[in-house]
Structure 1
């Protein structure tokens, strides 16, 4: 594994960082204070991102993306992650990789408009009673001739207000297993405006202001069998095949914010003076900085190793879980310590630290809680010895 960046990767980092600093940072304060990301601003930044070649860069070159290897993609994600989440996720969108699982007709109808910036996708799995336990979902679909009829509720569905369609996972029966009955799951494309499909405003969130969530309701919502993504009853297989790297994406965006918070802490420690000297020379501060830098490096190395192994075809579930777990917990620690170093000013919205601190909290919950990641890691360890 080569720990250095090649010329192309260095260019990706520099180009993306310049875009974030010039096009996203200037709008952070207003989005944070209003909690709203206006559509006209989205379209303005989106056009610039498309012109810069940064839009949908996670997609393969054959469908109009940048065709990046996994490490290069995560370097790009890290730089975008420095900014307010709503600004980088919505204005510099990265369509879900699961769209690549669609057939030719589905790719043309759903994937390509997302890559061109004409619409957005949203992924609907979580329910009020089924978060980490997706097999416990109650929303269901039943066959009716050439159609499926969907009923139930999903919530915490990111940016569903903007999305032109949802990729919805529904229970479609049960199968017997050695451990008892297990629900079969099917994924469906559901267009906004389909009768029986309602998008309602979600919850006010302490993290990621301007980045919305919604409640999706399905009341005898009828979709054609052509709108099944993958095979019927194989929704989990589709998700596991195409969504595994999202944990690495979360890890990378967390690394970007952690690095930004650490940078503020280092600068402030060198500039601020108390008792006649820079506060960074006090052991109480200098040791914090050392620990922050060390933990950030550890998280970055775990993430880079997982990215490298992903492209080698040797990555394990534990590799990705370790990266996600470490990066999200390191972000929380660095954000907290950066505020402690700044004292009262760290909690003021003149600096991005209080936002980074707030935003850090959700990262240990979505895309698999820290507890779920620890379960995955320990399960892999025990399986190796027959446990």
Structure 2
């Protein structure tokens, strides 16, 4: 198998546009978001407008629905550049609507998908519950048939940017299969539906300004046409979303790690102690070398997984390998970057303490590192009957 990840002229142009957008429209607002813990509504509106004009909004969506139609490798390159700045700024301001919405009927596309692509509506996805995180099949939120619709009961938490969303993509139990395990379905539910209430979530040390909420469903009635796909297919549909977001997480980790490494190299070259740049000391120089090796390995594994997606050959393990390596790599690079900078690394005059804090969540959300290792090991053992 031969790989060539050198950028095409088109990819290089897209990366340059994204990098310029980040430097001009997003990075200048990092300190404000860190200080206030929020993105001003008027700032968010302005970022969305400029992202739409730049062609960066909904870049993950196919051209047939108004998106940029980028292939997965190019999307990874874009996500890497976006990842260099505040998550709250780039994820809410430069939205990438959930690919689950592509499974909708023509009517659902008109009501939910297309407005998201145009920046008119925002979605959030609700899977996690207080008693169900990694074990998605343990969710308790239920959808019960009621005449020509469904009654929804349950609670979801850790729901990202729900307070800025118009509707929720909900995973709920709708029955049991022949083995007695719960079957899942997905529903599209407007957040102003009676019986649906939104509550402030938890304060998070990672990604300030990127909020989470709790959503309560108290006998909320939704019509039958809110069901996305077929009844009982929710788990499979959710899997398509997880693959895309896990690659996205891996790619944004690359961007932050690259930023931390660049700062570290500059500091090691310019900081003089004992009469010479500290980078000449083996204790610092070797750190830079190890950080570079780990970043290069994570980038290649992420590009490899993206390439396999484009070829139609990607497995869950391919995605898990990329997500695992990139998130663990970022933790190491962020920590070593602070060590190289010494006390100043922990001061908020530099972005390193933010990168360090933000890195912690990446090994948890969208599937913990332990879950990724489970997926990888299972792929190795199953062919041998173990």
1:27 to 26, 29, 40: 29
Q: Partner of 1:208 in structure 2?
A: 207
How many angstroms does 1:239 deviate by? 1.6
Q: How does 1:72-111 map to 2 (within 5 A)?
A: 72-111=74-113
Unaligned 5+ runs, structure 1: none
Residue 252 of structure 2 corresponds to residue 253 of structure 1: yes
How many angstroms does 1:241 deviate by? 3.4
CA–CA distance in 2 between the matches of 1:87 and 1:242?
21
CA–CA distance in 2 between the matches of 1:66 and 1:43?
20
Residue 329 of structure 2 corresponds to residue 330 of structure 1: yes
CA–CA distance in 1 between the matches of 2:323 and 2:9?
27
| 1:208-242 Cα distance to aligned partner (Å, 9 max, x none) | 00000000000000000100011112101212234
The SS at the match of 1:66 is coil
How many angstroms does 1:245 deviate by? 2.1
Q: How does 1:118-129 map to 2 (within 5 A)?
A: 118-129=120-131
The SS at the match of 1:132 is coil
Structure 2 length-normalised TM: 0.98
1:39 to 33, 38, 41: 41
CA–CA distance in 1 between the matches of 2:138 and 2:72?
32
The SS at the match of 1:141 is strand
CA–CA distance in 1 between the matches of 2:45 and 2:62?
23
Q: Partner of 2:162 in structure 1?
A: 160
How many angstroms does 1:174 deviate by? 1.1
CA–CA distance in 1 between the matches of 2:191 and 2:239?
25
Q: Partner of 2:263 in structure 1?
A: 264
CA–CA distance in 1 between the matches of 2:309 and 2:365?
21
Q: Partner of 2:352 in structure 1?
A: 353
CA–CA distance in 1 between the matches of 2:176 and 2:120?
38
The SS at the match of 1:257 is helix
Contact 2:151-2:220 at 8 Å conserved across structures: yes
Q: Partner of 1:132 in structure 2?
A: 134
Q: Partner of 2:60 in structure 1?
A: 58
| 1:333-355 Cα distance to aligned partner (Å, 9 max, x none) | 00000000000000011111000
How many angstroms does 1:383 deviate by? 1.1
How many angstroms does 1:173 deviate by? 1.5
The SS at the match of 2:159 is strand
Could you list the runs of 4 or more consecutive aligned residues of structure 1 that deviate by over 3 angstroms after TM superposition? Answer: none
CA–CA distance in 2 between the matches of 1:240 and 1:135?
12
Q: Partner of 1:313 in structure 2?
A: 312
Residue 171 of structure 2 corresponds to residue 169 of structure 1: yes
Residue 266 of structure 2 corresponds to residue 276 of structure 1: no
Q: Partner of 2:303 in structure 1?
A: 304
CA–CA distance in 2 between the matches of 1:156 and 1:298?
31
Contact 1:98-1:243 at 8 Å conserved across structures: no
Residue 243 of structure 2 corresponds to residue 244 of structure 1: yes
Q: Partner of 1:149 in structure 2?
A: 151
| 1:75-96 Cα distance to aligned partner (Å, 9 max, x none) | 0011001110000000111111
How many angstroms does 1:316 deviate by? 1.2
2:12 to 3, 10, 27: 10
Contact 1:101-1:242 at 8 Å conserved across structures: no
| 1:48-82 Cα distance to aligned partner (Å, 9 max, x none) | 11111111111101111111011001100110011
Contact 1:121-1:164 at 8 Å conserved across structures: yes
Contact 1:81-1:254 at 8 Å conserved across structures: yes
How many angstroms does 1:368 deviate by? 0.3
Contact 2:82-2:252 at 8 Å conserved across structures: yes
The SS at the match of 2:164 is coil
The SS at the match of 1:126 is coil
Cα pair distance change 1:330/1:245, threshold 3 Å: same
CA–CA distance in 2 between the matches of 1:56 and 1:293?
31
Structure 1 length-normalised TM: 0.98
The SS at the match of 1:28 is helix
